[in-house]
Structure 1
């Protein structure tokens, strides 16, 4: 084993320890200082309410549109891509065509495209995972791989980020179903996040075919659904995997308390029993800030950023940023950089003011950070050195 490998394993062990044990109460951060040495470039404009983006092997970018459209960015040009056979799309509130990923093994023509979406009606809708094939002109052969259960009503909290793991399986976030007074069955929708008989308020671990991945750590619990990977989540809209295979997620809190978490299978992340936010109507705290047996976040933002897409930076353009997380902000119209030391402690936060609602943040194959803006006619932006 090389010294580098030894250090990497030690750091991975420390991060795993952080995820697996309760931490001390976290001090929320309002607005970190401004980051320096960067500027924005506009890659493309005119994207209709974009939500997610994914790179093809040839460097082109696919971008989903919330109203059910798909777009291919080639240089500065945007081309509409027909999608044949989507299930019934629900576009109320936060619903619509949401995240997108390309199967990592598909490096040639005709890659498999994975998309998440809200499907159903105002009274009964769910988060759904679909797969199709992109032949260079259109996405066809759409099939539904997975449908979350139970159904919920209204247009809130679909979650819907997806990431592939090194073994070819994938993780998919599902929102809790909505704020009070929204109910699912005989309980408040948000209480579904502590119900192992529900997919809502969780991260799921699925095969590339949409089945429960083998060995899911919660499956042995009585009444637990076999797809569950972690529970106690409110509404994860950012998720990324770093080079060591660690999984990170950014999560919306209510009226404050947005979180960054290091995700470990089998763990409970607390919502709504543990939270740093307040109820929208009563303005009373939701749960307690520290609950034994539940994982504490690494970062808490109050006021809420409206946490969106999430990226772990490994590029060469910004050497000082390598090994940092970058989290988009819808409400704060910015991107937050979170830096760690070798022990996994957060040592620095910075803010990149974008001036528009940031819906997704990703690192491109060229090593630059990219963002899409949440607008009726959104933009694909690239962050480059000043």
Structure 2
């Protein structure tokens, strides 16, 4: 198995003082400081805290939608920082890795107020991911109205892991992409009669998109864009229109993938990591028929999210990938050049980073996992 230290070549920044016990107990918000911040490429400001956050997305007016796993959806005012709970969210299975997941304003949000959400739901056969669409009613009492499920992960299974259910819209606003984890079952990721271990491409109504690689097969197969995935928890389009995914491997073998139509990414037949308990898995190799990752990590960093930067605030980072690392407790930047990984930098936050998002002004926003739960805003240093 391949091995690479988490202390990757590049800048390693420690942001330790901002997560001290005294700071957490006081509830004080503001700049995050450390004993030696010389050379930091960004300043870090703590702007809010949450109990068990999972995802966030900015609305066109700059307000922020933010999910918590237990089922709460927050709407945070851009001007005042005040937040209110949005009522009308779906009933979720809040267990293991399940709960309320991703949220995104739809491509036509400015005209119709439609937002898309993902969550874990119970049903025949066990539990599975679902995606729904609703109208966001703003005002003094924000609410979701006319919520309906437009897609379900198939089949539902036992267990509480690997739902994935990240959402992304194509740059032209015509298609919805959903990442669907293997539910810790491995083999279904190589079976294209189900949607486990795949990335699906849908219309905005949740139907299989015309032109999908196996559209003529019908059923779940017609939804599939790519397969052989394990637990893709990041899904994002780059400024050049390419689709990228960050994916948790087994014991090592975390991946950053360029997602292409009809490609098989190998799980569980190929991985740059090892199975739990020491079982060997063949590495990705040229000619094996599987799409190899652009970048992989062993030991694991546990990428829980992905941003491909396109803002103006950090011009040198345009087109670069930013991964929120959970077990790695860091923000990881991968310099992408011509769809290949160049330099990598690891910014050690000392907390699990659950989500990474780009603000309307180009600032980078981080959301820490439950326990710390800080909402952080990164702007250029100096």
1:219 aligns with 2:219: no
1:361 aligned onto 2:349: no
Q: Counterparts of 1:1-386 in structure 2 under 5 Å? A: 28=4, 30-32=6-8, 33-34=10-11, 36-45=40-49, 47-75=50-78, 77-84=81-88, 86=90, 88-108=91-111, 111-120=113-122, 124-136=126-138, 137-167=142-172, 168-178=174-184, 189-220=185-216, 225-281=221-277, 283-290=278-285, 292-341=288-337, 343-376=338-371, 378-386=373-381
- Maintained 8 Å contact 2:308/2:322: yes
Shift of the alpha carbon at 1:326?
A: 0.5
Rounded to whole Å, the distance in 2 between the matches of 1:195 and 1:243 is 32
C-alpha separation in 2, matches of 1:362 and 1:284: 36
Distance between the aligned counterparts of 1:216 and 1:27, measured in 2? 36
Task: Report the secondary structure of 2:186's partner residue.
Answer: helix
Q: What runs of 5+ residues in structure 2 fail to find an aligned partner? A: 13-39
TM-score normalised to structure 1 length: 0.85
In the TM superposition, what whole-angstrom CA distance separates every residue of 1:282-332 from its partner, at most 9, and x where no partner exists? Answer: x12234432611101010011111101111112222222222111110011
Contact 1:84 1:141 in 2 (8 A): no
Matched residue of 1:77: which SS? coil
Cα displacement string for residues 5-33 of structure 1 (whole angstroms, at most 9, x for unaligned residues) = xxxxxxxxxxxxxxxxxxxx987453223
Does the 8 Å CA contact 2:258/2:339 hold for their aligned counterparts? no
Return closer, same or farther for 1:295/1:139 CA change in 2, 3 Å cut-off: same
Deviation at 1:89, TM superposition (A): 1.4
After superposition, the C-alpha distances for 1:41-65 in whole angstroms (9 at most, x for unaligned) are 11222x2311111111110000011
Q: Which moved more, 1:235-244 or 1:314-323?
A: 314-323
Greater CA drift, 265-274 or 75-84: 75-84
Q: Is the 8 A contact 2:246 2:323 kept in 1?
A: yes
Secondary structure class of the residue paired with 1:278: coil
Contact 2:109 2:115 in 1 (8 A): no
Aligned pair count? Answer: 347
1:370 & 1:253 partners in 2: Cα distance? Answer: 25
1:320 counterpart SS class: helix
> How far apart are 1:80 and its partner, in Å?
3.0
Within 2, Cα distance between the matches of 1:122 and 1:37?
50
Report the CA distance between 1:345 and its aligned residue.
2.9
Q: State the alpha-carbon separation in 2 of the partners of residues 292 and 378 from structure 1.
A: 42
* Aligned mates of 1:154, 1:123 — CA distance in 2: 11
Counterpart CA distance in 2 for 1:49 and 1:121 is: 24
Structure 1 residues 258-289: Cα deviation after superposition (integer angstroms, max 9, x where no partner): 000000011101101110121213x1223443
TM-score (norm 2): 0.86
Q: Does the 8 Å CA contact 1:329/1:336 hold for their aligned counterparts?
A: yes
